[in-house]
Amino acid sequence: MATKVRDYAKLAKDIIATVGGEENIVNAARCATRLRLVLKETPADAHDKIAAMPGVITVVETGGQFQVVIGTHVGDVFDVVVKELHLDEKGGEMPEAKQGILNRVIATMSAVFAPFVYILAAAGILQGTLIIITMFAPSFANTGTYSLLSLMSWTPFTFLPVFIAVTASKHFKCNTFIALVCCCALVNPDLSALAGRVADGEVIKFLFFKISETTYTSSVLPPLFLVWILSYLERFVSKRLPDALKALFTPFICLIVMVPLTVLLIGPLSTLAANGIAGGYNALYDFAPALAAAVIGGFWQVVVIFGVHWGITPVCLANFANNGFDTFQAYQTIAVIAQMAAAFGVFIKSRNKEFKGVALSAGITGIFGITEPAIYGVTLRLKKPFICGCIAGGIGAVVASFFHAVYYTYAGLPGMLTVVNAIRPTDSIAPVFANAFTGEIIGAVIAIIGAIVLVQFIGFDDPASETDNGISSDNSNAIEKKAAPAAKKAAAVKAPMNGKVMPLSEVADEVFSSGALGNGAAIEPSDNKVYAPVDAVVESIFDTKHAIGLTTADGMELLIHVGIDTVKLNGAPFTVKTAVGNQVKAGDLLLEFDAEAIKAAGCPLTTPVIITNSDDYESIALCADGNVAHGDTIINVK
């Protein structure tokens, strides 16, 4: 069963504490799968401790950032981090980290594009859907339904500067609404009309300066540089204006300075830079298409490992804007598909039931273009499958290049769902590459088959061989433990209290989380009562009243341990409602406790429910998720 953390608030707080607390965190951001922290200093043991936390796939230190790879639930963790660090309140007051230019560029691209990448991806899927429909029903392109849906699919790209205004203003810590009005001016239809008149030969000036024919819909670098410079201008103006004038004249001055400055200077220069970088890649492609394909298809996932993949976004968008198509994303997609397939290859070959679940989950996530779980949780962890994916991706991309595979539509998250972007829309003015889609499909199929076959032949060290009794060392929800079959009856253990159930591996105490006392589950209580989880005899009650031992008629031995380190409280917060030797029924009240007193003493309330004779059973499996009420079944025992 794949890893899934239910208490994201706890994970966020644990991460903050492990990296040195709020005072050591300069800034925090997130992307599709990573929590990105900028630290003053990185504690020596932070990497290993956080990487071992349940729910964390891995930790990457690159680009001046401490990146915690969490997966699709990173937003849940980040929301808590924002609250704990008071990021919204600090605004522009947070100190800046000392980083090199390259690291700052990488961090900026990530912070700006990651928050809305799913919007672009959704729009890309809509475009792909329209392409498929018109393939089978060409007349659909002439309907009002098509026109409206097409308009919707292009909206995020047309107004891309507006999205950038929001995210960049937060990254550069300036007024979001000032950034918005400036960037909205760039996509104003009247400005595009002016640029069109200039392109037709008319000379139009702003004061003494000629306006260029550059347009800014779908642009990336012009609004990005606009907001960056705006952040300095806004602070400069705000510090020098009297308080009575700041609210009105700060946006006024910023608007009349930044929009003309962008239209006359920043826009043309930054567009030239983006086109230059795109031109460099295109020159390589024109010189040796197979070489360009091999590099991207084979090494793109290596770039993803270091979290610097957002830097290519302006290049791809520049290609779409200038040429109406892009080859980079066509090969990038094949690289993503190959790594996804490598995870499925691990799923097929592994004999570790638990790890098979991890690989399957990571592979399914890869279908949607997110490969970090597959890379960090499966292929890179095992090393050889990652290499298999890179080889298959490179071969698939090279074959696709023979067919001149291109993308006609930008893919926010390149992957299996975006291969239709290689189909030329009926209303596109881009050049026709008749075999583009065929080549993309063939390249993708080669990547899938190649990665899976290579994994089967080359193999890997199955995690099952690394631990005793076939139990994987991977952090996961499964709490299954293999042992010699025993003559025990199947049984169900019910929740002894109301609260949120969690795997035992997530308990913040190694004695419990390691399974040293046995397997089971844990509950974060929402009230102050403990009930019998089974029909049993009360075998023991600790002198400190914090734990009770039970034994069922079939010989199952259960331990209910209320809180962590609560033994030091000497029984003060606990009131026992039963006695040793009593026969109890499931649901009988055993114990009450003062939750506030326990928390005030600094002890977590997490309550492990452990089957101490776990070796007598073939399997012990958690069968509940989230909030439970006492009496709900949480563990199945066979």
Distance from chain centroid for Cα 411: 17
Q: How far apart are CA 88 and CA 396, in angstroms?
A: 45
- Kindly list the averaged pLDDT for each block of 10 residues, start to end, along the chain of length 638: 60 91 83 78 87 82 78 81 73 48 64 72 76 82 88 84 89 89 91 82 83 78 90 90 86 93 86 74 87 90 65 74 87 94 92 81 79 76 89 95 90 83 81 91 96 93 49 36 47 92 81 73 92 91 84 88 82 88 90 88 88 83 87 89
Residue with tokens 């607390």: 21
Residue 505: which of 481, 535, 530 has the closest Cα? 481
Residue 393: which of 445, 433, 345 has the closest Cα? 445
Q: Of 31, 174, 388, 390, which one is the catalytic site residue?
A: 31
Q: Are 416 and 343 in contact (CB under 8 A)?
A: no
Q: Which amino acid is at 410?
A: Y
Residue 94: the pLDDT is: 45
Which conformational region is residue 217 in: left (phi greater than 0), alpha (psi within -120 to 50 degrees), or beta?
beta
174 flagged as catalytic? no
Q: How far apart are CA 552 and CA 275, in angstroms?
A: 74
Which is it for strands 574-576 and 209-210: parallel, antiparallel or unpaired? Answer: unpaired
Q: Half-sphere exposure of residue 316, counting CA atoms within 13 Å on the CB side?
A: 23
Residue 508: which of 432, 582, 561 has the closest Cα? 561
Q: Of 47, 171, 561, 630, which one is the catalytic site residue?
A: 561
Residue with tokens 């609260």: 499
Residue 524: the pLDDT is: 93
Q: Are 593 and 575 in contact (CB under 8 A)?
A: yes
Q: How far apart are CA 522 and CA 502, in angstroms?
A: 5
Which conformational region is residue 200 in: left (phi greater than 0), alpha (psi within -120 to 50 degrees), or beta?
alpha
Convert 363-375 to b/e letters by CB count within 10 Å (16 or more is b).
Answer: bbbbebbbbbbbb
pLDDT tens sequence across 222-255: 888 899 999 999 989 988 888 888 888 999 999 9
Q: How far apart are CA 589 and CA 498, in angstroms?
A: 13
pLDDT tens sequence across 89-98: 444 444 454 5
Residue 464: the pLDDT is: 44
Convert 158-170 to b/e letters by CB count within 10 Å (16 or more is b).
Answer: ebbbbbbbbbbbb
pTM: 0.50
Q: Which amino acid is at 162?
A: V
Residue 429: the pLDDT is: 79
Residue with tokens 């029984």: 571
> Cα Rg for the chain, rounded, in angstroms?
29
Residue 470: the pLDDT is: 34
The DSSP 8-state label assigned to residue 263 in this structure reads I
Q: Half-sphere exposure of residue 173, counting CA atoms within 13 Å on the CB side?
A: 15
How is 93-143 classified by DSSP, letter by letter?
GSPPP---HHHHHHHHHHHHHGGGHHHHHHHHHHHHHHHHHHHH-GGGGGS
Contacts of 478 (CB under 8 A, 6+ apart): 1, 353, 354, 357, 503, 621, 622
Residue 606: the pLDDT is: 92
Residue 372: which of 363, 360, 385 has the closest Cα? 363
Q: How far apart are CA 474 and CA 463, in angstroms?
A: 8
Count of other CB atoms within 10 angstroms of residue 257: 15
31 flagged as catalytic? yes
